[in-house]
């Protein structure tokens, strides 16, 4: 942690909007071009053949019960099948929960993966790390977020950072601080940029990204010089492989002074009707901002649906009567409708903007929920089986990959693990996983992820 | 970061025969949107209004029917021991239409 004036600036756990602007991005301009050019030269990355140019990940913090959402078992005993009925979708033979009526009309664009599972403990953080990084946890070598890897391989397309997380980082989910939303060992140049503000707030203004009133050009230049010195200091604390080639803060200042970059964050430029269509709430407006950022040149946007599982509505349906008291009522009145509304708006909007074919939308979560309802009518953590899904890009929609047994307790066929999902995203973006490596701890080259893509997706 | 909801949702509904038609919702919070149907003052149905802008209630029991569009208003997730929300509630967001069978 660096302190600049009164401001604490995190170096290893994500950059806030303010610290991004104050510290810059540690030479964002320096690293990626050589990486990309080198990888292209050796045939590891073929960006021209990649149909996925961008990725939006919607992370359903808390994790929906698979048996109550996208893998219903209407023939199972009542203590398993739960409360909801399946409805037909626009793809013959695929049914989902009745509380996703709009998503049901878009199933031809969506590939459900119903056989996800992981083999580590049933904590939120384990699942988050698997789905954000594709790796198990190792405190000595914190693995990078997928968006940070994409930042490292491809670099930015515009003044905007390559990897953005909205609206803010995942906070307390019960068992530690490592959620897989940092650049880890690949260095601070690729830390996600956290908006750190609520885009649904009435007072949310893109002015937060503007040069403070009264700051003259000479003061700005003086600050730039100071930050350049801090950059030198920071570089000395990082290993050679995570250093950037330049000590430039140009990109941070370009973001600060670029109208185009500021506009990407300005939801007031969208028609009111479109803002309504996403939902006038934190999640919906974050999804809309994700589309704007992709349009503006961000490569990888993660939208965290909630930042905690405690004391508020979220997917973590324990129904415990205390601080984890989400129930079926939260699902049917709040969570499912909110997701259904925003997710389908995002697909429609990307399509209308001509961006859907080059943007994969991945809806991910930590795990599933117990097949049998607990004594209070809730479901608890269950990493042995769950459903996530992808759409857009070159994903072949209208299909179900894998299945679970008759009570949703185990994969029945084609079991899929989280690294395979991330390998699929990398593959879709034109990255050859066999020849592309990252400098790991101690500068040892390591694979991006130890898995093969799910070929059926493409 | 607690989820925030901006503005106040509003819509207009009208009756064409017994078919209900709704406008788009302005300041739409994106939460559960439902037709609340009452007969002689008693709630007889709450129907998801998201899938379509039109709905025709199939009940033909004689009586005075009134229909309004409602949206879930999340305030917090507190619930009583019976599991019902104590603060969050459904709000009426439209005019009320009535018809008699």
Give the tens place of pLDDT for each residue, B27-74.
999 999 999 999 999 999 999 999 999 999 998 999 999 999 999 999
> What does the pLDDT look like over A43-69, one tens digit per residue?
777 766 667 899 999 999 999 999 999
A269 and B CB contact within 8 Å: no
Residue A127 covered by a domain = yes
Comparing A15 with A355, the larger pLDDT belongs to A355
> Looking at A179-193, A249-263, A269-283, which range is the least confident one?
A249-263
Across the interface, of B1, B30, B50, the residue whose CB is closest to A307 is: B1
Is A338's CB within 8 Å of B81's CB? no
Residue A394 covered by a domain = yes
| Residue appearing with tokens 């609206």 | A167
Is B26's CB within 8 Å of A313's CB? no
DSSP state of A184: G
Is A333's CB within 8 Å of B77's CB? no
Instruction: State how beta strands A193-194 and A54-60 pair.
Output: unpaired
Instruction: Tell me whether residue A327 is exposed, middle or buried, using C-beta atoms within 10 angstroms of its C-beta: 0 to 12, 13 to 18, 19 or more.
Output: buried
Is A101's CB within 8 Å of B51's CB? yes
Residue A13 covered by a domain = no
Assign A156 a pLDDT band (cuts: 50, 70, 90).
confident
CATH match of B13-100 with 1.20.950: no
Model pLDDT, residue A4: 27
Report cis status (omega within 30 of 0) of the bond before A400.
Answer: no
What is the ipTM for the molecules in this complex? Answer: 0.97
Model pLDDT, residue A292: 97
CATH code of the domain in which A309 resides: 3.40.720.10
Structure tokens at A212: 């403070």
Assign A189 a pLDDT band (cuts: 50, 70, 90).
confident
Model pLDDT, residue A446: 87
Q: What DSSP string describes A103-129?
A: HHTTGGGEEEEEEE--SS-S-HHHHHH
Residue A40 covered by a domain = yes
A270 and B CB contact within 8 Å: no
> Which structural domain, as residue segments, surrounds residue A43?
24-202+277-457
Give the distance from residue A336's alpha carbon to the nearest chain B alpha carbon, in angstroms: 8
pTM of the model: 0.88
pLDDT > 70 fraction of chain A, expressed in percent and rounded: 79
Q: For chain A, how many structural domains are there in total?
A: 1
Assign A20 a pLDDT band (cuts: 50, 70, 90).
very low
Model pLDDT, residue A23: 35
């Amino acid at each position: 942690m660096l302190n600049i004036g009164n401001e604490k600036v995190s170096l290893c756990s994500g950059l806030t909007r303010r610290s991004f602007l104050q510290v810059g991005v540690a030479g964002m301009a320096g690293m990626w071009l050589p990486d990309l050019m080198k990888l292209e030269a050796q045939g590891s990355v073929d960006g021209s053949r990649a149909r996925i140019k961008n990725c939006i990940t919607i992370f359903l913090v808390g994790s929906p019960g698979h048996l109550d959402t996208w893998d219903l078992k209407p023939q199972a005993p009542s203590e398993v099948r739960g409360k909801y009925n399946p409805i037909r979708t626009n793809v013959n033979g695929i049914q989902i929960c009745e509380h996703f009526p709009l998503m049901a009309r878009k199933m031809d664009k969506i590939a459900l993966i119903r056989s996800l599972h992981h083999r580590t403990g049933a904590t939120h953080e384990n699942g988050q790390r698997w789905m954000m990084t594709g790796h198990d946890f190792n405190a000595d070598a914190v693995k990078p977020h997928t968006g940070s890897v994409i930042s490292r391989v491809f670099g930015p397309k515009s003044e905007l950072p390559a990897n953005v997380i909205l609206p803010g980082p995942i906070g307390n989910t019960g068992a530690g601080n490592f959620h897989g939303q940092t650049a880890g060992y690949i260095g601070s140049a690729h830390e996600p940029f956290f908006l750190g503000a609520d885009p649904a707030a009435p007072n949310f203004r893109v002015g937060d990204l503007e040069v403070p009133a009264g700051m003259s050009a000479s003061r700005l230049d003086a600050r730039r010089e100071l930050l350049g010195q801090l950059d030198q200091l920071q570089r000395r604390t990082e290993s050679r492989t995570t250093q950037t080639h330049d000590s430039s803060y140009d990109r941070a200042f370009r973001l600060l002074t670029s109208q185009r970059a500021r506009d990407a964050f300005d939801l007031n430029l969208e028609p009111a009707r479109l803002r309504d269509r996403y939902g006038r709430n934190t999640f919906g407006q974050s999804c809309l901002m994700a589309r704007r950022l992709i349009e503006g040149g961000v490569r990888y946007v993660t939208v965290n649906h909630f930042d905690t599982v405690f004391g508020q509505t979220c997917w973590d349906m324990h129904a415990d009567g205390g601080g984890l008291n989400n129930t079926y009522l939260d699902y049917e009145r709040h969570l499912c409708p909110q997701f259904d509304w925003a997710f389908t708006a995002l697909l429609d909007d990307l399509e209308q903007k001509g961006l859907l074919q080059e943007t994969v939308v991945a809806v991910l979560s930590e795990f599933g929920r117990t097949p049998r309802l607990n004594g209070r009518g809730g479901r608890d953590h269950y990493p042995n089986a769950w459903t996530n899904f992808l759409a857009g890009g070159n994903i072949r929609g209208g299909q179900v990959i894998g299945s679970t047994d008759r009570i949703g307790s185990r994969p029945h066929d084609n079991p899929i693990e989280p690294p395979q999902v991330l390998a699929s995203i990398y593959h879709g973006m034109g990255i050859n996983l066999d020849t592309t490596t990252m400098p790991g701890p101690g500068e040892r080259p390591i694979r991006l992820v130890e898995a093969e893509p799910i070929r059926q997706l493409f | 970061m607690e989820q925030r909801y901006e503005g106040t949702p509003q819509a207009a509904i009208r009756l064409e025969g017994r078919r209900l038609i709704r406008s788009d919702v302005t300041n739409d919070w994106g939460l559960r949107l439902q037709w609340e149907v009452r007969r002689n003052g008693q709630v007889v149905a709450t129907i998801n209004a998201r899938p379509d802008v039109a709905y025709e209630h199939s009940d033909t029991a004689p009586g005075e029917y009134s229909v309004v569009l409602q949206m879930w208003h999340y305030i917090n997730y507190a619930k009583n021991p019976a599991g019902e929300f104590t603060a969050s509630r459904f709000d009426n967001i439209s005019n009320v239409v009535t018809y008699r069978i």
